[in-house]
Amino acid sequence: MASTRSPIRRRFLIGLPALVILLASCADGRLDATDPKGVNAEAIWSVNRLSGWMATVVGIFVAVAVVFVVVKFRERDTDDPDEVPEQIHGNKKAELTWTLIPVGMLVFLAVATLPKVFDLNEEGAGRTIKVEGQQWWWQFSYDIDDDGEYDDIITANEIVIPVGEEVNLEIHSNDVIHSFWVPQLNGKRDAVPGRVHPWKISSTEPGIYYGECTEFCGLSHANMQIRAVVLEQSDFDEWVRRQLEPAPLAASGDAAEGAALFAANCVTCHVINNGDPAYRVAAENGAVLQSGVAPNLTHLMSRTSFAGALFEMYDDDGNLNVADLREWIRNAPALKPANAENQQGMPSFEEKLNEEDLDNLVTFLQTLGNPPILPD
Amino acid sequence: MALTEERPEVLELESGDTTPDVGGFGRPSHGTGWKAWVFTVDHKKIGIMYGAVAMFWFFCGGLEALLVRAQLFTPNGTVLTAEQYNQLFTMHAVTMVFLVIMPLAAAFANYIVPLQIGARDVAFPRMNALGLWIFVAAGIFINLSWFVGGAPDGGWFAYAPNTGVAFSPGHGMDFYAIGLQIAGIASLIGSINLTVTILNMRAPGMTLMRMPVFTWMILVVQFLLVFSLPVITVALVLLSFDRTFDANFFNVSMGADPLLWQHLFWIFGHPEVYILILPSFGIVSETLPVFSRKPLFGYGVIVISGAAIGFMGWGVWAHHMFVSGMGPVSVAAFSATTMFIAVPTGVKILNWIATMWGGRLRFTVPMMFSISLVSMFTIGGLSGVMHSVAAGDTQQTDTYFIVAHFHYVLFGGALMGLFAGMYYWWPKAFGYKLNETLGRWHFWLVLIGFNMTFGPMHILGLQGMARRHSRYGPEDGFDFWNAVATIGAFIILIAMLVMAVNVVRSWTGYRKGRVPQEGADPWDGRTLEWAIPSPTPEHNFDYIPVVTDVDDFWHKKYQRDESGKLRKVADGNDIAQKGDQHPHLPSPSYWPVVLAAGLPLIGLGLIYNLWITGFGLVLLVGAMYGWSLEPATDPDAGHGDGHDDHHEPDGDDDGSSEVAAETEEAPVG
Amino acid sequence: MAETTAEAPGAVENLAYGPTPYDEMAHPPLSTSVTNEKMTMWTFLGSDCLLFGALISTYLLLRNRTGPATEGPTAADLFDIPFTSVSSFVLLMSSLTMVLAVTAMMSANLERCKLWLLTTAALGSIFIGGQVYEFTSFYREGLGFTTNISASAFFTLTGFHGVHVSLGIVMLVSLFMLISRGSLTAERAETVEIIGLYWHFVDIVWIVIFAVVYLIP
């Protein structure tokens, strides 16, 4: 980017794609598609490097040509003002050359890249997970018992997969269009209401990969994040085992008070210990959300984040992030823009719950599930 | 709304000058003052008004962009709420696309095309005025939403079902849907008018393949408009019916397919991209030969590739939908067509460079903007080829890499070309040049600010920064380049203020005699508009020219001597027409502006209260009635219409139009 | 090449473009053999093709789509093909009478032109009457504009066409009145021809709608 500072050399900016790729490859953001960790992400990055270098070469050629012309053929004080430059109207050979060379390059690019489109759409060898986007969070459902119903594990914002497995996704939307994107694992695929879109993700190494919704979906589009937690197979099996256990029902004490508050305030939208897909339960209670569904909280504590993966559930020492969780229950729209009057997002409970209620609710929520299993 | 500000001394003259018949069906005379602008049917005044109004919206749209950039200056920005952010990025795009670049192109098309083809006006002058005033009405209508509950917030692409009443219960999207339909009517009227003008009103001898390239590109654009506008109109009608009359077009629970909207929108939306860029391609195809002192290299190839871009532009729309879930076969097909549209575009770039090759380049401000179009558009074009690779696009789409791409195309391409056109044709329209020094400042600041703003967005996109997010986290690693981009955006603001200062200072300097009056041919031009006085007389041509060649006027000035050497045989300023004839001209009309006022009322009524619609309809039908019954000409036409004395005073008079242009910009600046 | 105009008649001054024979005319000659007005109509109709193209495609895409909330019949369930065939035939015949009106105008037979114009308008009105009847009977059978997705698409498509026919009728009646008042004479016969173009276009669109929407199951 140094060239921007030197206007004289401005035309070298045509080499920008090269600089861009060089600079971006040393970036260390957590959404970096130039640092692929999945099979498809690697395939896409190789395609992008190819097109990027081709663009860079052509760009440098054009830049050099422009700079050369501008320097060589500029008007000089020594020029004879009566001298009229030769009036060249064209040259068929030149025209033909610079039509055919781009055609050739593009044919090469097409042949090299179009098959990848079909590769990306091939079904993976692994399990299938149902992905549902809604304003403004993601739900992931697993079919563990192979009965064709994605009702065995239902979790929110964090998709947990075993390392190395090509996991198929079945992408749905419950309201508007969203787009599922975990850049280090694969490209995007839109979640369109009324349609089911297949896609897949896989990772070559365990870790937590970050993602976002990338199709504009309204007010809190920026706050609809994704985490893909990739575990070793044994860890994954343990995660599944724990998820299949029902949450214990709080029998006494503050947690029981919290459970009562939960039953009074939260079950209209949230579900614990489902057998049914969450939205059906919510519907029986008179669905109050445009999407008809809010996160299933059965194993809330097993997640690393909450509220559309906006907030960490635990701090670095593994202590529960009570402060944010309390604030979230008290007044969610203040932390994450929502339009609760129009049944979009979680409403504020500031008027309904006092400080003690909030404490009790948090105590109750702490009984839901074990701490997360983290990748090594 | 525009151009009602005039010099007071002119306003005084205007009383008693208009003499309509009783009954209201007379026609206003060629008056002075604001009436000379509001009721005019003169393509030149209409063109200037398009430009002035578009520049006003340019400052508004720029302000919106600056607020967006301010919000993104730091992680978790607090300048704007998410709601305001969504409204601002939506309106920034709507404003820049529909209220700035399209009308700026319309400004040049209106002013220059009739001059380049040797015509006295467009085919239908009153329709031309109607198109302008409907465009003005549409701009006011859409922006009215800011003051009545919030602007549209569903993005300019307005993907269903997010724009339905269920998810966007406010009235913002109603203003969007109805406002764009109104703007569409304006564009359709203008495009049909210009199509007929170019096809039918060319001077004797000007065959299609002798037309200036700018006129050619405008013709291609008008065809694109004629055929793409009805498609977006259908999409907007469906959306309005859903929102206003509870129809089910995008109601998923009734079985709707949201991709229907995307297809309809992009079948319009992709030709729209070429609608935005081709006028600028036309402009630099005029300026590069003039300032290189050479004819355009490969005139035929440039014309044909322009037409080919327009034609192929119909077969690439779904490249906006590579991740929308169309099948891989469609994706691959649209990927291939998109790659190959790069061929005619690349051919143009190389032809422009070949045009400069071997010339003697004069680095005037319009030339500098033209060269920067060639360079900056190339960057945008090349990143466009990267997007055409569908597999790769699954990572790039909806990130800032795309934002960088289309700003290099639309700012580095379209706007740079329009700036070039502004500096190039300013003396033709107003009789004096804009200051070259301030123009250079404007140029360098724009170029630096532009690259600082949009260059880093390539990097941000590859780092994974998604579009239309009202915030990003500190842990995402986007801070540095966002800060750079925001600083760049404010440099662009400074550049535009320099331009505004230039316009004011050049105008005041001209009025005080410090800035010289230019002759007919200040740049040693090649096309017909330079063969008539500057500023253009009201009737354009004393004598309709007879054309025998491409760049006909240049051949009048340069010929080969006995030895076969090219020599300048005449100075353009000497052999240009004198503007001393007085042909009969069409009279002004009251009705275009009245008719145009009816449309936003109808729109407001559909949103709030059908009584207002009724009132708007009465106005509309009344105006049509008045329109069809008004006499063909003003009884005074031909003698008392005030251009007897137009040599010096007219130059002054056109200077006053510039006041108007200036007052548009001043409040924002 | 450049000398041609320099020798133009009356070139007193050394002008690049001096007086030419064309300046004697109020309007210089047109570049094509089509008048501006007719070209405008053709361009507009080209644009309108895309409008109906988009509407017809929308209908075809949506006519059989259902979702969890869908109820009521689809538009196609209620089609009365014999009835619509008759009204389509009436509209088709109006194209014939329109041709007769244009021919009469061309041969300066104003009275006969007026007669055929009125006939055309009357046939168009019968068609619109049929459409109003069709819409009301659909409504009575439980298919309103908002009932389901096929209804919205059907009423929008045919409604747009109906509005086009109605505007055509207004134009035909206006022509009738202009000729009666004497403001439209045989010299401007082309005006009738241009309105005729519009009328034929609207008819052809209906043939397409009738074939694609009503007849193809």
- Closest Cβ opposite residue B363 in set A59, A74, A94: A74
Hey, CA dihedral for B551, B554, B559, B564, is it positive or negative? Answer: negative
What is the 3-state composition of chain A as percent helix, strand, coil, each rounded to the nearest 5?
A: 40, 20, 40
A99-113, A272-286, B227-241, C173-187: which range is least confident on average?
A272-286
Least confident of A58-67, B17-26, B197-206, B564-573: B17-26
The pLDDT of residue A252 is: 79
pLDDT > 90 fraction of chain B, expressed in percent and rounded: 81
Residue C48: list chain B partners with CB under 8 A: 230
**Tens digit of pLDDT for each residue in A294-310?**
898 989 999 999 999 99
Residue A3's pLDDT is what?
Answer: 39
**Average pLDDT for B489-498:** 97
Is B437 in contact with B40 (CB distance < 8 Å)? no
- The alpha helices in chain A, defined as continuous H runs, are 2-5, 16-25, 39-72, 92-120, 233-244, 253-265, 278-284, 322-330, 332-335, 355-366
pLDDT given at position A284: 52
Question: What residues contact B386, with CB distance under 8 A and at least 6 apart?
Answer: A17, A48, A51, A52, A55, B392, B393, B396, B405
Judging contacts by C-beta atoms under 8 Å, the chain B residues touching residue A87 are 294-295, 566
DSSP alpha helix (H) spans, B313-435: 328-340, 342-356, 365-388, 390-396, 400-409, 416-430
**Hey, are the CB atoms on A222 and B452 less than 8 Å from each other?**
no
pLDDT band at C1 (very low <50, low <70, confident <90, very high): very low
d(CA B586, CA A172) in angstroms, rounded, equals 61
Residues from chain C contacting residue B545 (CB–CB below 8 Å): 5, 16-17, 20
What are B217's two structure tokens? 């590109």
Q: What angle do CA A368, A369, A372 make, to 5 degrees?
A: 135
Q: In Å, how far from its chain's centre is CA A7?
A: 38
Q: What is the Cα–Cα distance from B512 to B524, expressed in whole angstroms? A: 26
- Test the B interface: residue of C47, C49, C146, C163 with most B CBs within 10 Å: C47
Chain B partners (3+ C-beta pairs within 8 A): A, C
pLDDT at residue A242 in the model: 93
Evaluate the omega torsion of the peptide bond into residue B8 and state whether it is cis, within 30 degrees of 0: no
- Average pLDDT for chain A: 87
Please give the residue that has the higher pLDDT: either C139 or A2. Answer: C139
What would the two tokens of residue A257 be?
């008070």
Give pTM, 2 decimals.
Answer: 0.91
Q: How far apart are CA B182 and CA B192, in angstroms?
A: 16
User: Are B52 and B105 contacting, i.e. CB atoms less than 8 angstroms apart?
Assistant: no
Length of chain A: 376
Q: Which residues have a Cβ under 8 Å from the Cβ of C176 and sit 6 or more positions away?
A: C114, C117, C118, C121
According to the model, what pLDDT value does residue C68 have? 86
User: What is the model's pLDDT at position B402?
Assistant: 96
Distance, CA of C184 to CA of C178 (rounded, Å) = 5
Report ipTM for this prediction. Answer: 0.91
Residue entry with tokens 């790069």: B342
Q: Which residue(s) pair with A269 in the sheet?
A: none
Is the pLDDT assigned to residue C121 strictly greater than 50?
Answer: yes
Q: What is the pLDDT of residue B563?
A: 87
Cβ <8 Å between B167 and A99: no
> Of C55 and A255, which is predicted with more confidence?
C55
Distance (Å, rounded) from C-alpha C124 to C-alpha C135? 16
Tokens of B586: 């069409």
pLDDT at residue number B7: 36
Yes or no: say if A101 and B375 are a contact pair by the CB < 8 Å rule.
Answer: no
Asked if the Cβ–Cβ distance from A14 to B82 is below 8 Å, we say: no
Cα gap B659→B665, rounded to integer Å: 10
Rounded-to-integer distance, Cα C184 and Cα C105, Å: 10
What b-and-e string marks burial along A253-289, b requiring 16 or more CB atoms within 10 Å of the CB?
A: ebbbbbbebbeebbeebbbbebeebbbebbeeeebeb
Instruction: Mutation target for A interface from B376, B443, B462: give the one with most A CBs within 10 A.
Output: B462
Q: How far apart are CA B256 and CA B262, in angstroms?
A: 13
pLDDT at A169 (0 to 100):
96
pLDDT band at A276 (very low <50, low <70, confident <90, very high): very low
List the subunits that have 3+ CB pairs under 8 angstroms with C. Answer: B
> What does chain C come to in residues?
217
Look at residue B2 and give its three-state secondary structure.
coil
Per-residue pLDDT reduced to its tens digit, B248-294 = 999 999 999 999 999 999 999 999 999 999 999 999 999 999 999 99
pLDDT 10s digits, B65-111: 999 999 999 999 999 999 999 999 999 999 999 999 999 999 999 99
| Touching B: C residues 8-37, CB under 8 Å | 8, 13-20, 22-23, 26, 28-32, 34-36
pLDDT at residue B194 is higher than 50 = yes
Neighbours of chain A (3+ CB pairs under 8 A): B
pLDDT at A49 over 80: yes
Q: Which amino acid is at B20?
A: P
Mean pLDDT (whole number) for A37-61: 94
Pairwise CB contact (< 8 Å): A63 & B375: yes
Contacts of C112 (CB under 8 A, 6+ apart): C100, C104
Q: What is the pLDDT of residues B627-643, one digit of tens each?
A: 888 876 644 444 333 33
Angle at the Cα of A361 from the Cα atoms of A359 and A367, rounded to 5 degrees: 110
The pair of structure tokens assigned to B27 is: 């026609």
